[in-house]
Amino acid sequence: MCGCALYSYAAISWLEIVQMQYILSKRQFLKIFALSAIFSFSVVCGNTSLKYLPVSFNQAIGATTPFFTAIFAVLITCKRESTVVYMALVPVVLGIVVASRSEPLFHLLGFLVCLGSTAGRALKSVVQGILLTSEAEKLHSMNLLLYMAPLSALLLLPFTIMWEGNVFAITAENAKDDSSILLLLFANVTVAYLVNLTNFLVTKHTSALTLQVLGNAKAAVAAVVSVLIFRNPVTIMGMTGFVITIIGVVLYSEAKKRFKVVH
């Protein structure tokens, strides 16, 4: 996250890609802080869930993010999609129910924290949409990332120290033996920045719900790669559930094209 902040600062102050924007009020700062806290909560829950669940099932649960996003969008922004769009989300959730009931490596705590991470991502996308599009408090994606990233880093630091206190020493020791680790870390930071920036841009120009539905394409790829690499067992019902979820994503995409948002 510190790397994301540095990239944003360089793009704004040195390259002058966009104009520097400043936090104008305490209310705006609190929204940015809330966004950082929600992001940190989602990261902690997501990483914790991977301790108990295979990546494939983790991604399958994450495919329900559009469902939570639709709920938060109504509660927070009062923006409602058409009934047809909401109906298209039914197979998204149904597929996860089918997959969960047949998952051979199901773990209740892992399932619950993964749901927490999923709900956190949904809430984050709605809040960031407000900060990116609100006329009174609108921020460019790079400026929002510039302010959000350091706050997220500070919030995540205690968890890093508590669970991975010696991570810096281990990384330094490994870098002595293999300098390519530093190159990989640099590449990781760069990709993370681009992912976060793209995330904000998609939210700004489409909607929080569309962002999460598009993210399910990534979930499908991650699930397949997980099975191929980690060889975790997958049942026929589990695969059927995930296919149902993907069908729901396709139906949502078509419904979204045809029907407008209701205010």
pLDDT for residue 145? 87
Cα gap 10→238, rounded to integer Å: 45
Calculate ∠ Cα 147-27-125, nearest 5°: 55
Nearest to 215 by CA among 50, 57, 63: 63
pLDDT for residue 150? 92
CA dihedral 233, 92, 35, 139 (to 10 degrees): 130
- Using CB atoms within 10 Å of the CB of residue 263, give its burial: 0 to 12 exposed, 13 to 18 middle, 19+ buried: exposed
pLDDT for residue 119? 94
Phi, psi of 94 (to 5 degrees): -60, -40
pLDDT for residue 94? 83
Nearest to 213 by CA among 159, 249, 164: 249
Tokens at 237, concatenated: 């019902």
Domain boundaries, the chain: 2-15+27-258
Q: What tens digit of pLDDT does each residue of 152-194 get?
A: 999 988 888 887 777 778 888 888 888 788 888 888 888 888 8
Q: What is the mean pLDDT of each run of 10 residues along the chain (263 residues)?
A: 85 86 91 94 92 82 82 86 83 76 79 94 90 81 89 89 78 81 86 80 68 63 68 75 79 75 54
pLDDT for residue 155? 93
Nearest to 53 by CA among 4, 2, 100: 100
Residue type for 126, please? V
Q: What tens digit of pLDDT does each residue of 25-59 get?
A: 899 999 999 999 999 999 899 989 988 988 778 87
